[in-house]
Structure 1
């Protein structure tokens, strides 16, 4: 497998190489999946291959662990070991940033985990605000501030995923946080639809950069409104890279056409978080990236029609999704 995709050419990435890790979060920034064995143990070799493959697609950043990583099904030891594997591969590189996610509900634990991740070599922190038992907006802001201060000046991505978390913030609150804490550099916008908030953040003075999540369902609209990147799962990164490249190069019609072809699949899979996790893991397994598509329960069990549609997907996009089996 080819690991080094060669030098990047965009202005943002060149700035990132010179020392600003946040500038590397541009274009496609996949969330890494975690393969398991058939017995339900983490597959360290498979995860290393996931990291190597994602780097080989030419992206300049990646995130772990997110919902796509099944972070809520990992032990502390497993999470630490997988992070060690990731940072062991990204640490020596100046052209790829590792975004390490923090989802702890307790503020003291979130700040501690974020600081430990930075000390271990994380280039950026992705912060998911607390959401269990409906914390107040003030408590959420205090939580975010504590993490920002704990890791400063390391850049932070604030993850705004109201559909998954119920957390409600707005551009004014986020702008105030960024003004007081310059290391709040990006917002991952996963509201439905994300475009309005992306546009509001882009219109701030100074602008606050956004990346679009939610599997790229609204990718073209997010790009038109000023998003600097998209953060989907990683099992078909090549398709997202191609869409983004077409949009950025000015061939907007071709980029939107490719996205229209992808949309029926991702819009169905994103109806449920466990569904898209299972579908993406199945795709990576079928591509030969790792040996099992096992998901720790409770998980979505793909039915016969869902499995058939994955085969249709792999055939339709075969020109962009090469076989990743070790023999290749």
Structure 2
């Protein structure tokens, strides 16, 4: 419910992290929540059912690196990460992976498989292509991130161009690309503070304003925002996360139209904010996301092709027209002296 109220359209939950412990019932190992804990229940199946009840797409994270499986071993006495593999047992581990992935598809039918832990040198691009083809055979419509392959360019998250790699979208981590890239789907995965899991001593929370502007910045470049929440050992969402998610949801209730289903900005860099667009049979709609409201009431735009037919504030239910003037440098929109929203106000331009 919290995710839905925050405006999220899909949820990614960890099925198996690098430590190898599984939150689902798997026949491939007893190292799972059903066989190795007093809980003795699959955690993913009921969550998948509730997500679908709430209209949220259910997706799962799965780590390729596995510190528990005997085919892999630590790289040094000090570190597990990245693992090495006993060469004679690699085929066994890949078969283990295929079994678990098939179980996940059968038990909770995720819409996205979000891989990670692909960086050990024993896992190859060809391994990724094989796993990708296997999953496509099981569920042709599934979406798979590019970490199923081994072509990711570090934390920038997009594939190198030296050969074919598996995956449907790029995964920048803890960063937002400076610009979008035409024809490439991507999703920035980022934390609310500095850590992915729960840490009581990590109180470096990003503000709600930063998170909302991240949503806008990413959408303006044609990407998705995967925002992490690290629950406590008791399974509770930290209060600071709840507070920020509610603030995001409040902003999305008014401005979600300018985010959902939009495309990257057709304009260059804008000194006052960002732009998203929507194209349909009725023409083109530009959504101007204003971070820095003009104190003189004049919002300046570069030249725009086509004729502007309507301009108004998205927060204004009456769609009261705003005056627009053509200048030698582009377009000027006359806006009220006070911003409707101190974090990000949206001006709608129809043409």
Please indicate, yes or no, whether the TM-score normalized by the shorter chain is above 0.5.
no
Higher relative contact order (CA 8 A, sep 6+): 1
TM-score with structure 2 setting the length: 0.37
Q: Which has the higher helix share?
A: 1
TM-score by length of 1: 0.39
Say which structure is richer in strand. Answer: 2
